[in-house]
């Protein structure tokens, strides 16, 4: 009997998840890579160059027009009070079961 290639894919374990997205910096780096896979592009002027990274406020500042943005600006994570690790963990749980996950179960897993 032929195997369904989608169903027989190797899973992404919780251990893999924690190794890859276990802290805020790893989650922010992932958002950075997903938003600007070819490198930072200023959303205001379109200038493509490595931005100035303002560590005190976790902002990226365009070297050309000085527009400030962040990896969460214009995403569903903007102005969230929850850490990115909580959102990423929620996404992990949401995608791990074929039939999804209930809000109550998700709340229990996240400890919220
Ligand atoms: Zn700019």
What is the three-class DSSP state of 35?
helix
Whether residue 72 lies inside any domain: the answer is yes
Whether residue 5 lies inside any domain: the answer is no
In the reported structure, the alpha carbon of residue 106 is separated from the centroid of ligand 1 by a whole-number distance in angstroms of: 39
Residue 51 pLDDT: 95
Mean pLDDT throughout 41-62? 92
Whether residue 60 lies inside any domain: the answer is yes
pLDDT beyond 90 at 86: yes
In the reported structure, the alpha carbon of residue 36 is separated from the centroid of ligand 1 by a whole-number distance in angstroms of: 14
Q: How confident is the model at residue 2 (pLDDT cuts 50, 70, 90)?
A: low
Taking CA atoms, 109 is separated from 18, 43, 51, 75, 106, in Å, by 14, 36, 37, 24, 5
Mean pLDDT throughout 4-20? 79
In the reported structure, the alpha carbon of residue 66 is separated from the centroid of ligand 1 by a whole-number distance in angstroms of: 6
Domain hosting residue 56, numbered range: 14-110
Whether residue 2 lies inside any domain: the answer is no
Q: Encode pLDDT of 64-78 as tens digits.
A: 999 999 999 999 999
- Is residue 85 a contact partner of residue 27, using CB atoms and an 8 Å limit? yes
In the reported structure, the alpha carbon of residue 60 is separated from the centroid of ligand 1 by a whole-number distance in angstroms of: 10
Whether residue 24 lies inside any domain: the answer is yes
Mean of pLDDT over the chain: 90
Whether residue 70 lies inside any domain: the answer is yes
Whether residue 77 lies inside any domain: the answer is yes
Mean pLDDT throughout 3-30? 84
In the reported structure, the alpha carbon of residue 69 is separated from the centroid of ligand 1 by a whole-number distance in angstroms of: 10
| 36 burial via Cβ count (<10 Å: 0-12, 13-18, 19+) | middle
Domain total in the chain:
1
Mean pLDDT throughout 25-51? 95
Query: What tokens does 103 get?
Result: 């809000």
Whether residue 19 lies inside any domain: the answer is yes
Mean pLDDT throughout 18-46? 95
Q: How confident is the model at residue 52 (pLDDT cuts 50, 70, 90)?
A: very high
């Amino acid at each position: 009997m032929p195997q369904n290639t989608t169903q027989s894919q190797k899973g992404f374990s919780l251990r893999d998840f924690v190794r890859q997205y276990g802290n805020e910096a790893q989650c922010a780096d992932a958002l950075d890579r997903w938003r600007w896979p070819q490198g930072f592009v200023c959303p205001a002027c379109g200038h493509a160059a490595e931005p100035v990274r303002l560590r005190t406020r976790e902002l990226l500042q365009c070297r050309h027009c000085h527009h400030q943005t962040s990896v969460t600006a214009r995403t569903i994570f903007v102005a969230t009070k929850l850490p990115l690790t909580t959102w990423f963990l929620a996404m992990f749980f949401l995608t791990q079961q074929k039939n999804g996950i209930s809000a109550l179960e998700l709340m229990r897993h996240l400890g919220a």
